[in-house]
Amino acid sequence: MSPAAVRPTIPVERFAERLDAAQRMVGESGLDALLVGVGPDLRYLTGYRAMPLERLTMLVVPRSGACRLVVPRLERMPAERSGAGSGGLVEIVPWDETDDAHALVASCVREAAGDHAGPNVRVAVSDTLWALHVLRLQAALTGAAFELGSRVTAPLRIVKDPDEIALLRLAAEAADRVIDQVAHGPLVGRTEHDVAAEIRDRLIAEGHDAAEFAIVASGPNSASPHHEASDRVIRPGEPIVLDIGGPLGGYGSDITRTIWVTGGHAAGPDDEFRRIFELVRDAQSEATGAARPGVSAERVDAVARGIIEAGGYGPQFIHRTGHGIGLEGHEEPYLVEGSREPLRAGMAFSIEPGIYLEGRYGVRLEDIVVCTDDGPVALNRAPLDLLVVTG
Ligand code: ZN
Ligand code: ZN
Ligand code: ZN
């Protein structure tokens, strides 16, 4: 069975719901229009996936009236085939090579603003829109106030619908299989680079759209949370932190497992390694258990941090406990002190505490967890216990 063959897609009705909700929020926020360039917000609202380019592609969500998707004429066909395009939810407005696309968008905004199309126009632009486009839009909409589009899109995207959860689950299960395959070895004698290349190939083979990252941090490198795979040769008697993932059907996987490699007369994990592994294991599972509706995001971080601090390694847990995941690998909610937002059913995030002892080794364990009315659900199923791999 090819994993891609069973991949669900987001049905057109979802894009209708999302566009309606966005339009409602544009009105409630006192904005005249939301302007969405190529990127995750555009994909969320329309299903349209395009390359970010100097040629402007822009969804215009006015406070009332039809949503328009302004596209270069040569990209009209893929835009029409997108979820919102094929469902007739947006009016496709193609522009020609010699047209001023930014002026075209500005005229859509002025039309939406109607009677107050003067200096009081307010628009929100998607957070990742290139400065190239933002500055030209500002020039075309003299005097208009510009804000970040995430004030409209983030509250929508933060709660996943069942189709999105289904894709996150498929991505998590595909990443689980890759961890299992790689943990079967052989690992000893290979470079981190070589193992990372194998992981990337396997992520694709298991159905991912792309292999976005493959951290292979062996021995002392495991003490660096975002280590780039290097030419270091893996030796028996040391740990490896594997942190891998990428999008599947647009939705990300992100899993971390720490394994111990042994072989020959090499030593197994020493006492301190076992101790920090147990602390991280406890912190990961207790924080997962705490991730219920109504609990603040910072509280989940505090649960993980409290366990590691009580074990005496607080200063060595040098990052937040987790991040939301969806169309982007890191998105809201962030599980970090100061993030008072209460968790809600449908939120999806990583729970990934770690302890890093510089010059020696580190441990991190990460699952993707969905908050539901029935409690937290871990999408990853790869075992979290310390795996000792021979060879
Ligand atoms: Zn990370
Ligand atoms: Zn990760
Ligand atoms: Zn992560």
7-13 mean pLDDT: 87
* Rounded Cα gap, residues 378 and 339, in angstroms: 21
Give residues whose Cβ lies within 5 Å of ion ligand 2.
243, 254, 256, 366
What does the pLDDT read at residue 167?
97
Distance 68 CA to ligand 2 centre (A): 37
What does the pLDDT read at residue 6?
59
Residues in contact with 136: Cβ distance below 8 Å, sequence separation at least 6, in sequence order: 56, 102
What does the pLDDT read at residue 24?
97
| Nearest ligand to the C-alpha atom of residue 329 | 3
pLDDT digits (tens, 9 = 90+) for 198-238: 999 999 999 999 999 999 999 999 999 999 899 999 999 99
What does the pLDDT read at residue 303?
98
What does the pLDDT read at residue 5?
52
Distance 356 CA to ligand 2 centre (A): 15
Residue 4 in this model has a pLDDT that exceeds 70: no
Tokens of 2: 């090819």
Give residues whose Cβ lies within 5 Å of ion ligand 3.
254, 350
* Helical ranges in the chain per DSSP H: 12-28, 40-46, 76-81, 83-86, 101-113, 131-140, 150-157, 162-183, 192-205, 271-290, 297-310
Select the more confidently predicted residue: 195 or 116: 195
1-16 mean pLDDT: 75
Least confident of 17-21, 32-36, 182-186: 182-186
| Nearest ligand to the C-alpha atom of residue 322 | 3
Residue 78 in this model has a pLDDT that exceeds 90: yes
| Nearest ligand to the C-alpha atom of residue 351 | 3
Q: Where does the pLDDT of residue 357 fall: very low under 50, low under 70, confident under 90, or very high at 90 and above?
A: very high
pLDDT digits (tens, 9 = 90+) for 235-275: 999 999 999 999 999 999 999 999 999 987 878 899 999 99
49-57 mean pLDDT: 92
Average pLDDT, the chain: 95
Distance 214 CA to ligand 2 centre (A): 9
Distance 217 CA to ligand 1 centre (A): 13
What does the pLDDT read at residue 1?
43
Distance 142 CA to ligand 1 centre (A): 41
What does the pLDDT read at residue 115?
75
Sheet with 67-72, strands from edge to edge, namely 90-95, 67-72, 58-62, 33-36, 122-125, 145-148
Residue 3 in this model has a pLDDT that exceeds 70: no
SS3 296: strand
Judged by phi (left if over 0) then psi (alpha if -120 to 50, else beta), residue 298 lies in alpha
What does the pLDDT read at residue 266?
79
pTM as predicted: 0.94
Distance 164 CA to ligand 3 centre (A): 18
Distance 244 CA to ligand 2 centre (A): 6
Distance 34 CA to ligand 3 centre (A): 30
279-301 mean pLDDT: 98
